[in-house]
Amino acid sequence: MNMREVLPEFMSEAICEGMQAFGKKMKAFAHPEAVFTGFETRSSSPVRMPRNEGYMSNIEGLYPAGEGAGYAGGITSAAVDGIEVAEAIIQNYCGIKENL
Ligand SMILES: Cc1cc2nc3c(=O)[nH]c(=O)nc-3n(C[C@H](O)[C@H](O)[C@H](O)COP(=O)(O)OP(=O)(O)OC[C@H]3O[C@@H](n4cnc5c(N)ncnc54)[C@H](O)[C@@H]3O)c2cc1C
């Protein structure tokens, strides 16, 4: 399906302009044979579940983590948050204080 049939004209025009501009910065990005297959419309969680300094929510034993909980905006930040929460859980339940 042609994306121009899906999007309003102002959007497809803006995308074309953007791709051409980006193509000047990144070689082959706007190659004539490049295929535009879709668009990413999702964004990260607009809400954040509160948690205490031990990474636990106000519900005993519930540790919100990662993107859905509002603590990450991508793969790496979600992974780092997951590690921190896992370390906090280990400290809370096993009493291990050192950095793991
Ligand atoms: C199309 C797209 C492209 C992306 N591109 C990039 C990119 O290029 N670079 C980047 O850094 N980030 C990118 N991201 C964002 C990145 O994927 C997320 O930020 C990251 O995966 C969040 O990790 P997470 O562990 O917090 O959540 P998720 O990876 O969403 O993991 C949540 C897990 O919980 C499971 N789950 C949900 N509900 C339940 C339940 N009730 N019971 C049991 N399990 C449940 C789900 O099945 C899932 O496995 C992209 C996201 C999308 C959608």
End-to-end CA distance of the chain: 51
Q: Which atom of ligand 1 is nearest to the CA of 40?
A: 1
Protein residues whose CB sits closer than 6 Å to any atom of ligand 1: 40, 42, 66-68, 72, 74-76, 78
* Mean pLDDT along residues 15-26: 90
In the chain, domain spans: 1-39, 43-100
> Atom of ligand 1 at shortest distance to CA of 44?
19
| Res. 99 pLDDT band, cuts 50 70 90 | low
pLDDT tens sequence across 40-91: 777 788 899 999 999 999 999 999 999 999 999 999 999 999 999 999 999 9
Structure tokens at 76: 């790496």
- More confident position, 42 or 30: 30
Look-up: residue for tokens 């009493």? Answer: 95
Instruction: Output b/e per residue, 61-73; b: 16+ Cβ within 10 A.
Output: eebbbbeebbbbe
Q: Which of 4-8, 9-13, 61-65, 91-95 bottoms out in mean pLDDT, i.e. has the lowest?
A: 91-95
Separation CA 30–CA 54 (nearest Å): 48
CB 45 within 8 A of CB 68: yes
